């Protein structure tokens, strides 16, 4: 793209180098540790599924019975049980759900376990390749109807079958992406509920069956509308890698998968989160799933003008963590938001500068741009005006993923007609703003150029400080989102384990091999 802001390439490069140094220190910890949910995700990808009569998932039953074996990797015990019982995963899962304790089964020869692991991974590999190929084929088939930016909306009824109705309606109105919001506090559950669900507060449970139901529905409407409709869920919280695994199996297209969101906004332990995000991102990268990061949330707890540099610093860190997990830039939907106080003079110019700055720095990334929420009130007319300005900035600065604002934001969960009006507004603005950036130049030492360069300078200084004190300490003292979290505090720390020298995880080996990471252990160091 023709860059307009005059940003310093050397400062951008230095920021990336600092981000790599910062994440490299964390990666050393990640490489030597596993978590209970990494182990459960591994079991899921090998075929563990189902639940017992009390609704406890089979992966949890296995992990609970083998908790002391986590440092060695749980995969060998599940694979061993398949070998010793002579059963297929579905049969073994049924037996486990009825009380079979596989921890008491003597281990087979390691070579037999490796051979069986290869067979199971071949099945997963075939599923993964089929999903990636299907998505690519449909995008190619319908490419003439692809929009730029993609219009992203949410559904959140609590009932997956009602969500399907709303998702289909939104897609037929013009939405390109549908996200199913998770029920309140699911991110704090250390298990994934099983089966289809019809009750939830503020959203719908993320389960593999719910993924399957919504995927089928959106595929149907894709064929009707001749546009590939993308499905999104939330790969965060205490079950981050497991939800990534389910999404890869059921062909989700995007996952919210931030490196620090759970730490800051859900008080999940940072050692747990950093380890989990690496494994979950390898799964997403292998499945060609775009991740969306959560920097927009920073601006709900800190000021969007004063703390804009914290958003950019986090984007650099999220990018570096993602690269370490084998993700290409084309899969990095780094987040930011239109969240400045509307009473600020020339606020629109500041928002424009911020959005264009992100676009110029992360030029190959499908940036995710979030609408105004913090300063929305019950005044639907002002809200509609704010969203119109947001739509203008989105299109004019070439953002790729646009979560639409609703005129009833801050009042209630949007009705069908709220979404329809939001989509109509966005389509009108996008059509009329086409080519805007190619037609304008920005004034030297003007508000837009000065603002973007100021934020980059502040970001560089912040990353220098974070590199000096370490990311754990930076989070502890509240450098991101004005939220302080102690390194050993938060939820889930008891589910983190140092790997034994004999740790075995065939899924990890498979993912690293698929992504070319086995030969790049020292990438970016």
Q: Which sequence positions are flagged as catalytic?
A: 261, 296, 368
**Assigned token pair, 271:** 């050692």
Contact 447, 9 (CB under 8 A): no
Q: CA 34 to CA 27: how far, in whole Å? A: 12
Q: CB neighbours (10 Å) of residue 28? A: 11
Cα-based torsion angle of the residue sequence 465, 240, 365, 33 in order, rounded to the nearest 10 degrees:
50
The DSSP call for residue 186 is: G
Close Cβ partners of 132 (under 8 Å, ≥ 6 residues apart): 287, 288
Cα-based torsion angle of the residue sequence 343, 348, 351, 355 in order, rounded to the nearest 10 degrees:
160
Selection from 383, 131, 75 nearest residue 247 by Cα: 131
Q: CA 30 to CA 21: how far, in whole Å? A: 14
Cα separation of the two ends of the chain? 29
**Assigned token pair, 228:** 């590939």
Contact 158, 204 (CB under 8 A): yes
* Buried/exposed code over 238-271 (b: 16+ C-beta within 10 A; e: otherwise): bbbbbbbbbbbbbbbbbbbbbbbbbbbbbebbbb
Alpha helices in 250-304 (DSSP H): 261-266, 270-286, 298-301
Contact 391, 426 (CB under 8 A): yes
Contact 275, 307 (CB under 8 A): no
Q: Give the 3-state secondary structure percentages of the chain, helix then strand then coil, rounded to 5.
A: 55, 10, 35
């Amino acid at each position: 793209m023709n860059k307009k802001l005059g940003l310093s390439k050397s400062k951008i490069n230095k920021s990336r180098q600092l981000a790599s140094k910062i994440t490299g220190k964390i990666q050393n910890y990640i490489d030597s540790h596993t978590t209970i949910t990494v182990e459960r995700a591994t079991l899921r990808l090998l075929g563990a599924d189902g639940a017992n009569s009390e609704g406890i998932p089979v992966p949890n039953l296995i992990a609970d019975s083998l908790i002391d074996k986590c440092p060695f990797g749980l995969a060998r015990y599940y694979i061993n049980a398949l070998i010793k019982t002579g059963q297929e995963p579905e049969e073994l899962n049924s037996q486990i759900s009825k009380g079979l304790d596989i921890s008491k089964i003597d281990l087979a020869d390691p070579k037999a376990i490796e051979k069986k692991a290869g067979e199971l991974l071949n099945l997963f590999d075939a599923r993964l390749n089929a999903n990636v190929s299907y998505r690519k084929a449909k995008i190619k088939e319908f490419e003439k109807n692809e929009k730029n930016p993609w219009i992203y909306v949410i559904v959140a009824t609590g009932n997956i079958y009602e969500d399907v109705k709303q998702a289909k309606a939104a897609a037929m109105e013009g939405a390109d992406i549908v996200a199913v919001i998770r029920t309140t506090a699911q991110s704090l559950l250390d298990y994934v509920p099983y089966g289809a669900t019809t009750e939830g507060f503020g959203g719908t449970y993320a389960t593999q069956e719910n993924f399957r139901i919504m995927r089928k529905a959106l595929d149907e409407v894709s064929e009707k509308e001749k546009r590939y409709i993308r499905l999104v869920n939330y790969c965060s919280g205490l079950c981050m890698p497991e939800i990534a695994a389910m999404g890869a199996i059921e062909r989700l297209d995007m996952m919210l998968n931030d490196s620090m969101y759970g730490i800051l906004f859900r008080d999940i332990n940072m050692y747990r989160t950093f380890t989990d995000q690496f494994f979950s991102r390898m799964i997403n990268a292998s499945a060609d799933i775009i991740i969306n990061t959560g920097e927009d949330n920073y601006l709900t707890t800190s000021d969007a003008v004063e703390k804009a540099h914290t958003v950019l610093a986090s984007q650099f860190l999220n990018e570096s963590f993602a690269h370490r997990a084998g993700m290409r830039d084309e899969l990095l939907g780094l987040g930011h938001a239109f969240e400045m106080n509307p009473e600020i003079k020339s606020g629109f110019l500041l928002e424009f500068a911020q959005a264009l700055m992100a676009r110029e720095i992360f030029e190959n990334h499908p940036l995710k741009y979030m609408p105004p929420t913090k300063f929305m009130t019950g005044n639907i007319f002002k809200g509609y005006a704010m969203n119109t300005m947001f739509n203008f900035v989105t299109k004019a600065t070439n953002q790729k993923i646009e979560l639409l604002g609703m005129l009833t934001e801050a009042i209630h969960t949007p009705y069908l007609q709220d979404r329809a009006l939001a989509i109509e507004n966005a389509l009108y603005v996008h059509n009329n703003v086409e080519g805007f950036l190619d037609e304008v130049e920005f004034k030297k030492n003007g508000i837009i150029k000065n603002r973007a360069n100021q934020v980059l300078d502040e970001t560089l200084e912040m990353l220098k400080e974070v590199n000096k004190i370490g990311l754990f300490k930076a989070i502890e003292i509240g450098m991101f989102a004005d939220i302080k979290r102690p390194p050993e505090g938060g939820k889930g720390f008891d589910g983190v384990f140092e790997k034994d020298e004999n740790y075995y995880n065939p899924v990890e080996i498979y993912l690293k091999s698929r992504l070319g990471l086995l030969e790049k252990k020292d990438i970016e160091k």
